[in-house]
């Protein structure tokens, strides 16, 4: 990996840690620089501004996630199994990436996020198409896309957040039961 990516990555990684820990506005650029082991000025060589750094971090995290949702050869599974797999993929990603999870939640609920929330429409398109196919195949309730999304992935995320926060311990048994409940809800009819 070229050095240049090394430093840029170090900044992004450190930013993620600190932003989650302290929040956007309690994380001075100078602190990010210090923790990343670089000078204060160099950040502006890689990112236009603090805001742009955060946006870039958001884009990168989001790209990663979207790439993983359909992982595990989901397309080869049939109806309910595929559904269950996507659901589990989502849940597991979020649980195993607590910082990314908290960052996304913080970012997406901040007022200045509104400018780029639809940047990912094109990347998430495959998932939407897959859901549409499931609906047409009669594997899923005929509800608006956003609601189906919320019922499945939104809930996976909420569950992961609670697990991260330590409010609950999601054992495999519970996970099994929960996914059963979800699927029952999403089934057509």
Partner DNA sequence: CATGAATGAGGCTTCATTCAT
Partner DNA sequence: CATGAATGAAGCCTCATTCAT
Contacts of 189 by beta carbon, 8 Å cutoff, 6+ apart? 141
Q: How far is the CB of 38 from a copy of itself (least distance, A)?
A: 19
Q: Return d(Cα 118, Cα 63) in angstroms, integer.
A: 13
Instruction: Output 86 or 182, the one with its CB closest to a copy of itself.
Output: 182
Q: One symbol per residue from 5 to 34: x for binding DNA (CB under 7 A), - otherwise; what is it?
A: --x-----------------xxxxxx----
Is 4 near DNA (CB under 7 A)?
A: yes
Residue 3 sits at φ, ψ, to 5 deg, of -60, -35
Residues that bind DNA (CB under 7 A): 3-4, 7, 25-30, 38-42, 44-46, 49-51
Residues that bind a copy of itself (CB under 8 A): 20-26, 102, 105-106, 109-112, 141, 143-144, 146-147, 150-151, 154-155, 158-159, 162, 167-168, 174, 177-178, 181-182, 184-186
């Amino acid at each position: 990996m070229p050095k240049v990516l090394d430093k840029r990555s170090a900044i992004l990684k450190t930013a993620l840690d600190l932003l989650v820990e302290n929040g956007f506005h309690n994380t001075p650029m100078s602190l990010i620089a210090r923790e990343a082991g670089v000078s204060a000025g160099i950040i502006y060589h890689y990112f236009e501004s603090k805001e742009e750094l955060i946006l870039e971090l958001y884009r990168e995290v989001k790209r990663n996630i979207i790439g993983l949702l359909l992982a595990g050869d989901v397309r080869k599974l049939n109806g309910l199994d595929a559904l269950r797999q996507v659901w589990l993929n989502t849940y597991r990603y979020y649980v195993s990436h607590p910082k990314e999870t908290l960052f996304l939640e913080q970012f997406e609920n901040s007022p200045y996020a509104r400018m780029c929330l639809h940047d990912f429409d094109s990347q998430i398109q495959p998932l939407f198409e897959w859901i549409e196919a499931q609906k047409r195949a009669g594997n899923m309730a005929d509800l608006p896309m956003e609601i189906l999304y919320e019922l499945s992935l939104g809930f996976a995320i909420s569950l992961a957040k609670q697990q991260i926060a330590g409010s609950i311990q999601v054992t495999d048994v519970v996970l099994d039961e929960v996914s059963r409940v979800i699927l029952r809800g999403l089934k057509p009819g």
